Amino acid sequence: MNIEYPLWMEIDSQSLYTNFQRIQQHLTIPDASRIIGVVKADAYGHGLESVLLLQKWGMNRFGVATVQEGEALRQIGIKGTIYLLGGFIDQEIPGIFKNHLTPTLSSQEEWDRLNSAVQTNQQVLEFHVKVDTGMGRMGFLPEELNESLIAQIGHHPYLHLRGVMTHFASSENNPNYTHQQFEVFQNFLQKISHLNQIPIQNLEKHCCNSAGFLFFPDYHLDMVRVGIALFGVSPIQDPSPARSLGLSPVMRIRSRVKHLKNLPSGCCIGYGGTYITQRQTRLAVIPIGYAQGLLRRLSNRMEVLIKGQRAKCLGVISMDQMMVDVSDIPDVKRGDLVTILGPDGADEIRAEEMAAWAETIPHEILCSFNRIKNRIVV
């Protein structure tokens, strides 16, 4: 492959396909329609082309954070249900109708605003209700949804209630809290079913993100909302949950050696001189920096792969460049392939490992690479 860019992202479409299949197989009732592919933030930095692939393979439900993201999906030809997981501000309401998005409601005020919008446009809109069971973010508190409000939202000529959802705060590391949240959700569902206002069995009930999907198979309910797992990455710094399900990373970041030099011992490397060579060092400069999404926090910590071997980052990451130590890799030449994320030979740099270096979660690693606009589907 002769790519003319100094830095590019490869989208491994085979892995994306396999991940979609594996996730279906792991559901209690395997069915593509029971998966909401969460593709906010440009599909976790992978770009919208991957959403089109998923649609081609049968995915028909997608989740986004904003109306603008939903509109971008409609513009590229996404036909299925698009859930507006992140709520909305009033200025976004026309866009919800225009793009036939499915909002998730968090308050009486949101309901009132949608209600007054349909008085004018008389357009049918499906929506879900979001219940805050302990996330402390969007969603109705269970007690806010009283009998009269439920009667209203359950029977409306234009606004059609199709589902009820909640979101876990700590499904990746706190099973007790997750069980508690699930119980609050179940109690809420029971409460509304006893009110006999709406046929609860017809509603789509869902609560699992990737961690919920991986660690709480009993909580899959009618649908799961998977983001990071779809892209083959664990929601935690340990890659084994994704690996053991047969998921593999979709995103790869590659570059080339731009410059090489030999430095004696005792040289300062980069801004602030945070690294001083301890020996004669062969240094390689790579054209990626924090402007391309390489978190500065990774400075002096991360490693890249060159010829299948690891080269350590030396000094702080600059805006568009970084330096690595290639002293122990024989025969590195200008133009040699550099793998920042992904496999090379027998070794592999994973987003989970990068997240550990940067003391963050793999989600942030993937999203930050959204700044790399040279994307190649392989």
Q: Which residues bind ligand PLP (CB under 6 A)?
A: 38, 40, 85, 167, 209-211, 225-229, 235, 363
- Choosing from 261, 271, 333, 373, which is the catalytic residue? 271
The H or E element containing residue 110 is: helix 108-121
Question: Closest CB to ligand PLP among 145 and 305?
Answer: 145
**With contact defined as beta carbons under 8 Å apart, do 97 and 125 qualify?**
yes
**With contact defined as beta carbons under 8 Å apart, do 323 and 269 qualify?**
yes
Question: Closest CB to ligand PLP among 23 and 117?
Answer: 23
Write down the number of H helices and E strands in the chain. 12, 20
Question: Closest CB to ligand PLP among 226 and 340?
Answer: 226
CB of 35 to ligand PLP, least distance (A): 11
- Choosing from 40, 83, 130, 219, which is the catalytic residue? 40
- Residue 241 CB-density burial (10 A; 0-12 exposed, 13-18 middle, 19+ buried): buried
- Would you state the structure tokens that stand for residue 51, as one six-digit string? 């959403």
Would you call 130 a catalytic residue per the annotation? no
In angstroms, what CA-CA distances link 236 with 46, 257, 342? 19, 31, 17
- Would you state the structure tokens that stand for residue 249, as one six-digit string? 């990373």
CB of 167 to ligand PLP, least distance (A): 4
Angle of helix 67-76 versus helix 49-56 axis, rounded to 10: 60
Question: Closest CB to ligand PLP among 103 and 227?
Answer: 227
Question: Closest CB to ligand PLP among 223 and 349?
Answer: 223
CA distance 139 to 86: 10
CB of 87 to ligand PLP, least distance (A): 10
DSSP string covering 203-227:
SEEEEE-HHHHHH-GGG-TTEEEES
Please give the DSSP secondary-structure letter assigned to residue 144. G
CB of 119 to ligand PLP, least distance (A): 29
CA distance 180 to 36: 24
Would you call 40 a catalytic residue per the annotation? yes
- Would you state the structure tokens that stand for residue 200, as one six-digit string? 């609860």
**With contact defined as beta carbons under 8 Å apart, do 204 and 81 qualify?**
no
CB of 299 to ligand PLP, least distance (A): 26
**Residue with the shortest CB distance to ligand PLP:** 227
* Cα 247 versus chain centre, distance: 15
CB of 361 to ligand PLP, least distance (A): 9
List residues bridging with 341 in a β-sheet: 253
Question: Closest CB to ligand PLP among 61 and 252?
Answer: 61
Positions marked catalytic? 40, 271
